[in-house]
Amino acid sequence: MIARRQFLMTAGPALLSLASARRSMAQNLPTVRFVLDWKYEGEHAQFTVPLTDGTFRKLGINVTLDRGNGSGDTIAKVASGAYDMGLADTYTMARFNAANPNNQLISVCMVQDVSASGVVGLRSKGINNPGDLAGKKIYAPPADAGRALFPIFASLNNIDLNSVQWNSVTSELRDTMLARREADAVTSNTVTTVMNVRAVGIPESELVVFFYGRYGIDLYGSSIVTTSAFAEKNPELIRKFVAGIVHGLNTMISNLDASMASLKTFDTLLNDQVEKSRMVISLRDMLITPNVLQKGFSTVDMARLDKTLKQVAPAFNIAAPSATDIYTDRYLPPLAERKVLPWSPPAK
């Protein structure tokens, strides 16, 4: 016991000094204030992992991470300077830019190679094909991006737009109304909706999902947005941040348990089974595509982006911006640092 006390007396100051040095090092690193697009969910592990396992710190940056309240809110917070960067829907950013020509944002990294925007319907309501949505009750918030894009989807898939019965609800209530079967269908981030209704006992087999990207609107998903001023002033910081989230994505691919443990440091109430399933669905439907596997994370086809901007512009009542107005690869790390591990969906 005496020896242990003597050890603590001698080692204690050294340990305190080491902890102090680490705090000082973190304080001296350049800081990124980052806000997500929504509350902490499975797909966000790629952002939490490099923070909790020290990767961001090893790369030489200090990152603060907060949950979001929707893409529109994230964009407004980044534009105001409350945050340096954020995760938000790329086309919602384009709409913001059109309304705010003197305060525009730019996407510096495409996180989701495919958008999850679309329609989730109930087979029990007779919905099996897009045309079955005619005459149905569809619930969504008034400003929902999926709702704004629905007319394009309808025109491409021969849906009588005038027959659809729209019902306006909050984002929080939308999936509840579907789970209660009061809604026939909803427009939404389909990954989020599928997992939310599964969590309350609606089997996935009862759901039909119409990804807009598979029905004529080949949309990109959410990306990292920031101001041009921040990007031009901090190019190396952005490169390091992107390298960190590629590490986080590869951890999601290789180790769901570790990814889940990281995510729960931000929200201890998360359900492991639900969120790990959400990770798998996010990898399958948004994050890991042949393009990402072959060409690397955030390799954007500018012709594809340009085409989709022209498609969504009428729905948003804006002039179509060019792809170069919306996205730049100037701040990405080298391709070697954007390689993604091989992945295929687990057998059901």
In 3D space, the residue among 194, 177, 188 whose CA is nearest the CA of residue 282 turns out to be: 194
Bridge-based pairing of strands 222-227 and 85-89 is antiparallel
What are the φ/ψ torsions at residue 64 (nearest 5 degrees)?
A: -110, 140
Q: How many CB atoms lie within 10 A of CB 43?
A: 32
The answer to whether the 29-113+220-338 and 117-214 domains have the same CATH topology is: yes
Tens digit of pLDDT for each residue in 263-318? 999 999 999 999 999 999 999 999 999 999 999 999 999 999 999 999 999 989 99
CA distance 302 to 348: 35
Higher-scoring residue by pLDDT: 69, 31:
31
Superfamily of domain 29-113+220-338: Periplasmic binding protein-like II (3.40.190.10)
Torsion of the alpha carbons at 209, 212, 131 and 129, rounded to the nearest 10: -30
- For 186-212, letters b (16+ CB in 10 Å) and e give bbbbbbbbbbbbbbeebeeeebbbbbb
- Residue 36 has a pLDDT of 98
- For 135-152, letters b (16+ CB in 10 Å) and e give ebbbbbbeebbbbbbbeb
CA distance 7 to 117: 59
CATH of domain 117-214: 3.40.190.10
In 3D space, the residue among 164, 161, 215, 169 whose CA is nearest the CA of residue 188 turns out to be: 169
Tens digit of pLDDT for each residue in 164-194? 999 999 988 999 999 999 999 999 999 999 9
Summary mean pLDDT of the chain? 92
Domains of the chain, by residue range, sit at: 29-113+220-338, 117-214
